[in-house]
Amino acid sequence: MNELSKRPDVRRGYGNADRPVAGVLWAQESQPKTAAMLEDGNYEPANQQIDFKRYYDPAVAKLELDKIFTKTWQIACRDEDIPNVGDRLPVEIGPLSFFVVRTAPDAFKAFYNSCLHRGTKLCTKLSNATEIRCPYHAWEWHNDGGLKRIPSHWDFTAVTPRNGALPEVKLGRWGGYIFINADPDSGPLEDSLSVIPEHFKPFNPERRYTKAHFRKLMNANWKIAQEAFMESYHVVGTHPEGLPFNGDSQSQYDIFKTETSHIGRQIVPSAIPSMHAPATATNIEATMASAMLGKAWHYPNYPLMEIDPAKPLRAQLGDWMRAAYKDAYGREANAPDGIMIDSTLYFMFPNFAVWLSELVPFVYRFTPHASDPEMSYFEVRLLMPYPEGEPPPPSSPVVEVGIGESIMEKVPAFNFLALIFDQDVGNMPLVQAGVKAASPARHHTQLGTYQEIIIQHWHEVMDEYLSK
Ligand code: FES
Ligand SMILES: [Fe+2]
Q: What's the CA gap between 451 and 63, in Å, rounded?
A: 28
Q: How would residue 65 be classed by pLDDT, with cut points 50, 70 and 90?
A: very high
- Ligand 1 atom closest to the Cα of residue 115 is 2
Average pLDDT over residues 62-78: 98
State the pTM of this model.
Answer: 0.97
Residue 118 pLDDT more than 70? Answer: yes
List the one residue out of 322, 349, 350 whose CA is nearest residue 338.
322
Tens-place pLDDT, residues 296-306: 999 999 999 99
Average pLDDT over residues 457-468: 96
Q: What is the pLDDT of residue 415?
A: 86
Q: Give the Cα-Cα-Cα angle 67, 449, 255 (nearest 5 degrees).
A: 50
Which among 123, 136, 150 is the best mutation to test ligand 1's pocket, defined by most ligand atoms within 8 Å of the CB?
Answer: 136
Is ligand 1 within 6 A of the CB of residue 114?
A: no
Q: What's the CA gap between 225 and 218, in Å, rounded?
A: 8
Side-chain-facing half-sphere of 363: CA atoms under 13 Å: 22
The residue among 188 and 5 whose pLDDT is bigger is 188
Distance of CA 36 to the CA centre of its chain: 17
Sign of torsion over alpha carbons 279, 282, 283, 288: negative
Is ligand 1 within 6 A of the CB of residue 115?
A: yes
Q: How would residue 46 be classed by pLDDT, with cut points 50, 70 and 90?
A: confident
Q: Separation of 234 CA from ligand 2 center, angstroms?
A: 6
Q: What is the pLDDT of residue 308?
A: 97
Q: How would residue 6 be classed by pLDDT, with cut points 50, 70 and 90?
A: confident
Q: How would residue 410 be classed by pLDDT, with cut points 50, 70 and 90?
A: very high
Q: What is the pLDDT of residue 404?
A: 92
Residue 3 pLDDT more than 80? Answer: no
- Report which protein residue has its CA nearest ligand 1's atom 4: 137
Tens-place pLDDT, residues 164-195: 999 999 999 999 999 999 999 999 999 999 99
Is ligand 1 within 6 A of the CB of residue 139?
A: yes
Side-chain-facing half-sphere of 427: CA atoms under 13 Å: 15
Residue 2 pLDDT more than 80? Answer: no
Are residues 134 and 120 in contact, defined by beta-carbon separation less than 8 angstroms? yes
For residue 218, what are the β-bridge partners?
376
Is ligand 1 within 6 A of the CB of residue 151?
A: no
Name residue 91's amino acid: V
Q: What is the pLDDT of residue 1?
A: 42
Give the three-class secondary structure for 385: strand
Q: What is the pLDDT of residue 47?
A: 87
- Report which protein residue has its CA nearest ligand 1's atom 1: 118
Q: Separation of 425 CA from ligand 2 center, angstroms?
A: 8
List the one residue out of 151, 74, 76, 66 whose CA is nearest residue 117.
151
Residues 6+ apart with CB under 8 A from 96: 65, 69, 70, 182
Q: Separation of 354 CA from ligand 2 center, angstroms?
A: 15
Which of 26-30, 307-311, 411-415, 449-453 is predicted with the least confidence, judged by mean pLDDT?
411-415
Give the three-class secondary structure for 413: helix
Alpha helices of 48-156 — where are they, by DSSP H? 58-64
DSSP 192-260: HHTTHHHHTGGG-GGGEEEEEEEEEEESS-HHHHHHTTS-STTHHHH-GGGTTTB-STT-EEEEEE-SS
Q: What is the pLDDT of residue 7?
A: 82
Average pLDDT over residues 98-111: 98
